[in-house]
Amino acid sequence: MFSTITTEKRSGARRRDHMRAGFTLIELLLVLAILVVLASMVVTMFGGTQEKALKDAAKGQIGILKSAINLFKFDTRDYPAELNELTTKPGDSNASKRWAGPYLDATKMPLDPWDQDYKFVAPGKHNPDSFDIWSMGPDGQDGNDDDIGNWEIETR
């Protein structure tokens, strides 16, 4: 008698364990929903990282160009007529005599992170006592809010 009750309990327990071996549809959907929420949080957190990195790269290049332009002015006593005078001797005879370049470690002017030329004007609109140098930013259009210029960059 004792052995038949124990055997019946064991076989019933085996049947329940066998029936409970897989996941239910609701459990699978719940896990899937949690994964979707986590994935959307990760995309939201890191989505703008590349754009910020490109803008920071443009600010860094503008800082380097700004230093090169200031060295050019120190040597020649005037700002360059165009940015390529930082890498090649200017045609103007006065500036050419005093030119001590190249002022950049490049054979040609670098492009901004969006493969556009940097813009330069002296005297500047934003810096009337010196010069403006800027990138047209991600949209490639000049004069928009996404332009990145030396008037925005903090000096430390």
pLDDT tens digits, residue range 26-46?
Answer: 888 888 888 888 888 877 777
Tell me what pLDDT residue 156 has. 44
Q: What does the pLDDT average to over 5-27?
A: 63
Q: What does the DSSP assignment read for 13-55? A: HHHHHHHTSS--HHHHHHHHHHHHHHHHHHHHHHTTHHHHHHH
Read off the pLDDT of residues 63-102 as tens digits, 9 standing for 90 and up. Answer: 989 999 999 999 888 899 888 888 888 887 777 888 887 8
Total length of the chain: 156
What tokens were used for 67?
A: 């230093």
Contact in structure between 32 and 88 (CB atoms under 8 Å): no
Q: What is the pTM of this model?
A: 0.66
Place of tokens 């160009």: 65
